[in-house]
């Protein structure tokens, strides 16, 4: 698997618990979301009631699960964690909802991937703290209303636009998570290094941050690989030079591109003169499936301003030529 993917792998899951900030003050970056959330939580505490339901939207690895745990911790409430894909039937959701205790936080990851009947049950639960449990089948089926204790739903989604409006409207507050700035990621790396007992200097943390694609999960993963390298080949201390060498071994370049990303750019520049070239042709040149190129490599290349998708095909930007250290062909005037 790719070192630079934002999705969590098994190793991440084991280490992440130890690296998660526990309180809002420890949470780095996302100033706006943090301030807004802090107001929502303080107001709820003052009123002595459960806060409005919270929706967190943004790409994977930016801290949505972490924030949900912080919300529970700040409220002094227990938290239950589940996800949209885990809820296949409305009954699965009814079972979870009916076992919640008063004030509990329910974290529902990938909420846009819930089944339709479960979603409809959730509307009522969010609004009226009530569900109708259907008993029996066919004409004899009856709905038994069930009162729920007040709880706070924290929903997470990679794209708020995917949520049906009736669901979106039932959240009192939506926090939009942004990719982290390099200085913020540098602080994330430094904090994690301290927790993992890794000695790192500021330039070493900056080097890792710069290759982490704006994503704390990737930063923490790269830090662990750099730690391995520093311990095996050196004295364990992470400097910019050591971090750079280590991540070169793992083929994550100075801008966070990995082998696949570079292969796509390289083919686009060297074989097709920077484009425009069609996706399928580009994919054949790289020896990958078109979907892999389109869904795995391109989003980051586009985000970085290295590649553009146009109706005529993929084209490289001036920054792409510069990044690979190549000279664009001279345009001959018509």
Say if CB 224 and CB 241 are below 8 A apart: no
Of 157, 212, 220, 317, which lies in the binding site for ligand ADP, with binding defined by CB under 6 A? Answer: 220
Q: Is 309 annotated as a binding residue?
A: yes
Of 4, 27, 131, 212, which lies in the binding site for ligand ADP, with binding defined by CB under 6 A? Answer: 27
64 among known catalytic residues: yes
Q: Taking the complex as a whole, how short is the minimal distance between the CB of residue 65 and ligand ADP, in angstroms?
A: 3
Catalytic residue among 211, 213, 217, 221: 217
Residue 112 binding ligand ADP, by CB under 6 A? no
Cβ distance to ligand ADP smaller for residue 65 or 186? 65
What value, to the nearest 5°, has the Cα angle with vertex 147 and ends 111 and 143?
Answer: 85
Cβ distance to ligand ADP smaller for residue 38 or 49? 38
Residue 189 binding ligand ADP, by CB under 6 A? no
Q: Taking the complex as a whole, how short is the minimal distance between the CB of residue 317 and ligand ADP, in angstroms?
A: 29
Q: Taking the complex as a whole, how short is the minimal distance between the CB of residue 19 and ligand ADP, in angstroms?
A: 4
| Cβ count within 10 A of residue 328 | 14
Q: Taking the complex as a whole, how short is the minimal distance between the CB of residue 179 and ligand ADP, in angstroms?
A: 11
109 among known catalytic residues: yes
| Cβ count within 10 A of residue 130 | 12
What's the rounded Cα separation, in Å, for the pair 212 and 198? 18
Cβ distance to ligand ADP smaller for residue 213 or 217? 217
What's the rounded Cα separation, in Å, for the pair 106 and 314? 43
Of 3, 4, 28, 87, which lies in the binding site for ligand ADP, with binding defined by CB under 6 A? Answer: 28
What is the torsion angle, in degrees rounded to the nearest 10, for the CA atoms of residue 71, residue 74, residue 76 and residue 77? 0
| Residues 51-90 contacting ligand ADP, CB under 6 A | 60-66
Strand partners, 137: none
Q: Is 326 annotated as a binding residue?
A: no
130 among known catalytic residues: no
Nearest to 224 by CA among 7, 3, 64: 3
Say if CB 254 and CB 325 are below 8 A apart: no
116 among known catalytic residues: no
Size of the site for ligand ADP (CB under 6 A): 18
Residue 16 binding ligand ADP, by CB under 6 A? yes
213 among known catalytic residues: no
Q: Is 314 annotated as a binding residue?
A: yes
The H-assigned helical ranges of the chain are 10-19, 31-47, 64-75, 90-98, 116-128, 165-168, 182-195, 202-210, 216-233, 240-249, 259-270, 279-286, 290-291, 298-303, 318-323
What is the torsion angle, in degrees rounded to the nearest 10, for the CA atoms of residue 63, residue 65, residue 68 and residue 72? -120
Could you tell me which residues are annotated as the binding site for Mg(2+)?
A: 65
- Per the annotation, where are the binding residues? 19-20, 61, 64-66, 127-129, 170, 180, 217, 309, 314
Active site residues: 64-65, 109, 158, 217
């Amino acid at each position: 698997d790719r070192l630079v993917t934002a999705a969590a792998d098994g190793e991440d899951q084991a280490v992440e618990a130890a690296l998660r900030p526990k309180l809002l003050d420890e949470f780095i970056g996302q100033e706006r979301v943090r301030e807004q959330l802090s107001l929502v939580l303080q107001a709820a505490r003052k009123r002595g009631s459960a806060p409005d339901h919270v929706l967190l939207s943004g790409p994977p690895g930016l801290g949505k699960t972490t924030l949900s745990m912080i919300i529970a911790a700040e409220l002094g409430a227990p938290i239950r964690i589940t996800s949209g894909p885990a809820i296949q039937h409305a009954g699965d959701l009814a079972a979870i909802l009916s076992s919640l205790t008063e004030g509990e936080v329910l974290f529902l990851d990938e909420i846009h991937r819930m089944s339709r009947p479960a979603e409809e049950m959730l509307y009522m639960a969010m609004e009226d703290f009530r569900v109708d449990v259907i008993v029996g089948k066919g004409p004899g089926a009856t709905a038994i209303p069930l009162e729920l204790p007040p709880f706070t739903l924290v929903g997470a989604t990679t794209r708020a636009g995917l949520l049906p409006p009736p669901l979106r409207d039932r959240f009192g507050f939506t926090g939009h998570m942004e990719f982290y700035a390099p200085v913020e990621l540098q602080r994330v790396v430094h904090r994690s290094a301290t927790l993992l007992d890794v000695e790192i200097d500021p330039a070493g943390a900056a080097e890792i941050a710069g290759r982490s694609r704006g994503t704390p999960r990737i930063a923490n993963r790269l830090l662990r690989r750099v730690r391995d390298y520093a311990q095996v080949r050196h004295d364990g201390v992470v400097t910019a030079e050591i971090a750079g060498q280590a991540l070169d071994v793992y083929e994550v370049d100075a801008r966070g591109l990995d082998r696949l990303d570079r292969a796509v750019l390289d083919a686009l520049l060297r074989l097709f003169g920077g484009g425009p070239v069609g996706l399928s042709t580009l994919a054949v040149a790289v020896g990958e499936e078109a979907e892999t190129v389109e869904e795995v490599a391109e989003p980051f290349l586009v985000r970085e301003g290295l590649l553009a998708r146009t109706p005529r095909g993929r084209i490289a930007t001036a920054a792409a030529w510069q990044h690979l250290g190549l000279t664009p062909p001279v345009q001959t005037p018509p």
